[in-house]
């Protein structure tokens, strides 16, 4: 893909790293000269030290052939203007970070995909690492539901049970689904069936309609969660 990244700050730099390592053609627009120089020294891609809210800067970045534009600056007003300009050029995928929740409606009205308040998401993730140490990784869905990864410990109530047995015995609540199993010795994740037996050491991807509370993590043998 041909991707334009606006901003080479705390959010933009990791994005540039991922996008370039994935083999995409990446162009970066960064207004701050020091940030632009730093990015130019680290990444093999075109770095423009320019103001992305200026139409000419987007033209220089090749906006006419871009498959995607991602705006990552720390100012919502700048991100909104950049997204509006990208829409004028019919960029297929336009994404922006949003720092102030009060601005979300503006981004929705102009039809831009968003990532809300990345700093808050990072803070929540760090807190979760302390409060829910059993959780390997997670993603919130809506207000309460979550998808998370958790490894099954030796004395877990679910060990040795098939998924169907665990459901029938009430070990797995009705609004919890095991959607994937990574098992040592298996090259690819297993697709769970009712007859699949859970083993110690399995890394499970779990959907929970009520989130990953301590009562649920107990099912997988983790009793160290500190808060409800």
pLDDT tens, N- to C-terminus, the chain (228 residues)? 999 999 999 889 999 999 999 999 999 999 999 999 999 999 999 999 999 999 999 999 999 999 999 999 999 999 999 999 999 999 999 999 998 888 888 988 888 888 766 666 666 666 666 666 778 777 777 778 889 999 999 989 999 999 999 999 999 999 999 999 999 988 889 999 999 999 999 999 999 999 888 889 899 998 755 444
* pLDDT value for 117: 64
Burial class (CB in 10 A: 0-12, 13-18, 19+), 166: buried
The beta strand positions in the chain, using DSSP E, are 2-6, 25-30, 46-49, 68-71, 93-98, 113-116, 135-141, 145-151, 176-182, 203-208
What residue segments make up the domains of the chain, in order of their start? 2-116, 122-219
Taking the C-alpha atoms of residue 88 and residue 188, their distance in angstroms, rounded to an integer, is 43
Instruction: Write down the CATH number for the domain with range 2-116.
Output: 3.40.50.720
CATH topology of domain 122-219: Alpha-Beta Plaits (3.30.70)
Q: Give bridge partners of residue 139 from the DSSP assignment.
A: 147
Tokens at 186, concatenated: 């298996």
- 104 closest CA partner among 125, 120, 124, 123: 120
> Quick one: CA dihedral 216, 218, 221, 223, positive or negative?
positive
């Amino acid at each position: 893909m041909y991707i334009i990244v606006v901003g080479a700050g705390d959010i933009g730099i990791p994005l540039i790293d991922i996008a370039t390592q994935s083999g995409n053609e990446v162009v970066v627009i960064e207004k701050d000269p020091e940030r632009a120089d730093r990015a130019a020294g680290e990444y093999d891609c075109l770095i423009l030290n320019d103001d992305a809210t200026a139409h000419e800067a987007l033209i220089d970045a090749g906006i006419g052939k871009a498959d995607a534009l991602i705006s990552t600056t720390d100012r919502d007003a700048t991100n909104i203007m950049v997204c509006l300009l990208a829409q004028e050029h019919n960029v297929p995928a336009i994404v922006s970070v949003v720092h102030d929740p009060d601005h979300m409606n503006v981004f929705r009205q102009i039809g831009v995909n968003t990532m809300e308040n990345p700093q808050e998401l990072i803070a929540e993730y760090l807190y979760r690492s302390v409060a829910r140490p059993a959780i390997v990784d997670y993603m919130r869905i809506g207000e309460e539901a979550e998808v998370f990864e958790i490894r099954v410990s030796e004395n877990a109530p679910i060990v040795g049970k098939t998924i169907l047995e665990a459901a029938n015995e009430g070990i797995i609540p009705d609004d919890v689904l095991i959607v994937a199993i990574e098992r040592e010795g298996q090259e690819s994740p297993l697709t769970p069936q009712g007859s699949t037996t859970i083993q110690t050491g399995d890394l499970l991807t779990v959907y929970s309609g009520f989130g990953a509370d301590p009562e649920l993590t107990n099912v997988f043998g983790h009793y160290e969660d500190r808060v409800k």
